[in-house]
A and B are shown apart, each in its own frame.
Chain A
Amino acid sequence: MKEIIYYPGCTLKNTAKNFEDSAIACSEALDFKLHELKDWYCCGTVYSLTSDDLMHHIATVRNLLRVQEEGQARFTTLCSMCYNTIKRSSKRINENENDRETLNSFMDEEENNYEGKVDIIHYLQILRDEIGFDIIKEKVKKPLKNLKLAPYYGCLLLRPNEVAIDDPDSPSILEDLIAAMGAEVAYYPFKNECCGAYETVAEVDLVVERAHNIIGNAKRNNADAILVSCPLCAFNLDNRQKEVLEKYPDFEGIPVLYFTQALALALGLDPDVCRFDLNYQPVEDLVRGIKQ
């Protein structure tokens, strides 16, 4: 069985435990083992965009150093925000010797220097590039054939160009996964439009508008559920449906699943690994639909 170091990030141990548990179960069913990084730190969640702000890359560098100390040159993560932040920071630090030296000299309590050779890949890239959607299709025991699923990429898997896991304007990795799981793809134009992200803290109304647009459009294209890969997108599209309904009384809700939850169902795993109790919109009807 293949092994890869896995970086969970803060939210996967908290509101998105359903994402972590289902992803670990799926990976074992697909013959690769996620081995959690020891002593990991929060990545900082957003990549620092100002040129002189080297200090905010330090959390990422400490994580890269932990991976290096385990004798590995790469690791994986599930959360889109962690992926983007770590990928961009590691690119800057790996390619820039001066930055690396500055950070290494700052971390003088560390036994080793970071050598600039560690890279991160997203879990979806493992599914596509190392397992392959044809193999996944063979391992599907309960095809999701009654379901029409709307992929939602959000921002950080696709932008900016240098860290994109797929074509930023016209991605297909989630569509290919949906097809491999035996479900139908709901095509709609908002799959890579921002959900409002952290504006959900202080600008709830803005996020409600975004969620109303995105979900409404997915529904008009006959989606039964939306698939996401980011715990913040999941919160804004799933939990914020409460506020959407308050503002738009005729709004009809829709379940929002992590792609790993849908994959776990398709692989015929015990639905308990999906932890659907942590999803806001009820998923029971959807699961019942698959069994028939």
Chain B
Amino acid sequence: MAFKLSKESVRSDFIKKIEELSGEEISACYHCGKCSAGCPSAMAMDLLPNQIIRAIQLGDIETLKTSNTPWICASCFTCYVRCPRGIDLCSIMEAVRQMTLRTNKDHIDIKKYTGELANLPPIAVVSALRKMSS
């Protein structure tokens, strides 16, 4: 469904909450696209990293909630070290993930992977659970 831009959406509490959680100023981004150009996982994302910022700027909450992008981001910080505006996009992605996780909705059902877990390094399992479950 097309998103209808309104005065309310661009001034929503959602944007303020993302800014508070991430510590970043969402309006600072001018969409040069450097984050999306350098993101090593962009090929698996349905929205490019800077499109996530655009959705936040517009207050398009539905798009953010259905996108796989924040869950594909593995916090590698490549975008952060390259951003000409110094924006830590990884923290913004974390804030978007937390907005879902804090409603008690997990993104990952660890029971589905029980057979494989024993072969994985403990750091893989702990970090996946930290990032994708509440």
Task: Pick the contact of B123: A45, A51, A205, A206 (CB < 8 A).
Answer: A45
Does B48 belong to the interface (CB within 8 Å)?
A: no
Residues of B in contact with A, size category: 35 or more
- The answer on a CB contact under 8 Å between A42 and B121 is no
Q: What is the 8 Å Cβ interface bit string for chain A, positions 191-215, against chain B (1 contact, 0 not)?
A: 0011011111111011001100000
- The answer on a CB contact under 8 Å between A79 and B128 is no
Q: A203-B72, A206-B41, A206-B72 are in contact. Are A198 and B77 (CB under 8 A)?
A: no
Give the docked Cα–Cα distance between A182 and B118 (Å). Answer: 37
- The answer on a CB contact under 8 Å between B44 and A10 is no
Residue of B with least CB distance to A235: B121
Q: What is the 8 Å Cβ interface bit string for chain A, positions 124-161, against chain B (1 contact, 0 not)?
A: 00000000000000000000000000000001000111
Question: Which residues from 87 to 109 on chain B have a C-beta closer than 8 Å to any C-beta of chain A?
Answer: 88, 90-91, 94-95, 98, 108
Q: A50-B94, A193-B40 are in contact. Are A160 and B77 (CB under 8 A)?
A: yes
Q: Count chain A residues whose beta carbon lies closer than 8 angstroms to a beta carbon of B.
A: 42
Q: A194-B41, A206-B44 are in contact. Are A81 and B77 (CB under 8 A)?
A: no
Q: Which residues of B contact A52 (CB under 8 A)?
A: 20-21
Q: How far is the CB of A53 from chain B (nearest CB, A)?
A: 8
Q: How far is the CB of B31 from chain A (nearest CB, A)?
A: 21
Does B127 belong to the interface (CB within 8 Å)?
A: yes
Q: Which residues of B contact A239 (CB under 8 A)?
A: 119
Q: A81-B123, A161-B81, A169-B81 are in contact. Are A201 and B108 (CB under 8 A)?
A: yes
Task: Pick the contact of A42: B74, B120, B126 (CB < 8 A).
Answer: B126
Q: Which residues of B contact A11 (CB under 8 A)?
A: 121-123
- The answer on a CB contact under 8 Å between A198 and B131 is yes
- The answer on a CB contact under 8 Å between B132 and A193 is no
Does A16 belong to the interface (CB within 8 Å)?
A: yes
Q: What is the 8 Å Cβ interface bit string for chain B, positions 59-83, against chain A (1 contact, 0 not)?
A: 0000000000000101111101100
Does A253 belong to the interface (CB within 8 Å)?
A: no
Question: Which residues from 5 to 21 on chain B have a C-beta closer than 8 Å to any C-beta of chain A?
Answer: 20-21
Q: Which residues of A contact B123 (CB under 8 A)?
A: 9-11, 45, 79, 81, 198, 231-232
Q: Which residues of B contact A159 (CB under 8 A)?
A: 76-78, 80-81
Q: Could you list some 19 contacts between A and B, CB below 8 A?
A: A14-B122, A15-B120, A16-B121, A45-B123, A81-B127, A159-B77, A168-B81, A193-B40, A194-B78, A196-B74, A198-B127, A199-B41, A199-B72, A199-B74, A201-B108, A203-B72, A210-B41, A232-B127, A239-B119
Sort A-B residue pairs by CB-CB distance and give the 3 closest, nearest first. Answer: A194-B76, A159-B77, A49-B94
